[in-house]
Amino acid sequence: MQKSARDMILSLGLIGLVAGFVWLFIPHDDGEPDLPRVDYRVDLLTARRAAAYPVAAPVGLPDTWKATSVRFRGDEGDAWHLGYRAPDGEYVAVEQSTQKRTLFIEEKTQEAERTDVTQEINGETWARYEGSHYDALVLEHPDGSTTVVTGTASFGQLSKMAKALRTE
């Protein structure tokens, strides 16, 4: 009985050593994946021709801002999406649409709540939204479209993106 318990403990110890060796010497990366940079110029031209509102995209951002996703859905209220990785590694997205504002803002900000704070950017008043997942700056256009700059980035980074947006 003692011999079998001793053998079992030695076997478990040996298994632990082998597992530790494997863990130490087999490469593993716990960092964030390196997302490829996307070229959205063709998508932007297509969206600008098809959308019922002036489609915005950033101009003049440094190369440290990396475009990682782009999408235009004409069948979903001319929904325009442009996702970026900010220089600090946080996520920033430009979302535009003619969808019903309350639903669109709720979806794109992941249910962030409107605050009493507004911010003047390029002569327009943007509303601030704060949430548990995303924060956002929201601009409601007179033509019925809505622009949302949202993500995990700080309001400083969101503001930089909003300041860089151009519709021409």
- 4 has pLDDT over 90: no
The correct CATH number of 41-166 out of 3.30.200.100, 3.30.70.1560, 2.30.29.30, 3.40.630.30 is 3.30.200.100
Domain edges within the chain:
41-166
pLDDT of residue 31: 62
pLDDT of residue 29: 62
SS3 category, 65: coil
**pLDDT, tens only, 129-153:** 999 999 999 999 999 999 999 999 9
**pLDDT, tens only, 28-68:** 666 666 778 999 999 999 999 999 999 999 999 999 999 99
Whether the Cβ atoms of residue 137 and residue 128 lie closer than 8 Å to each other: yes
Write down the number of H helices and E strands in the chain.
4, 9
Distance between CA 150 and CA 147 in Å, rounded? 10
The alpha carbon of 150 is separated from its chain's Cα centroid by a whole number of angstroms, namely 7
SS (H, E, C) 4-51: HHHHHHHHHHHHHHHHHHHHHHCCCCCCCCCCCCCCCHHHHHHHHHHC
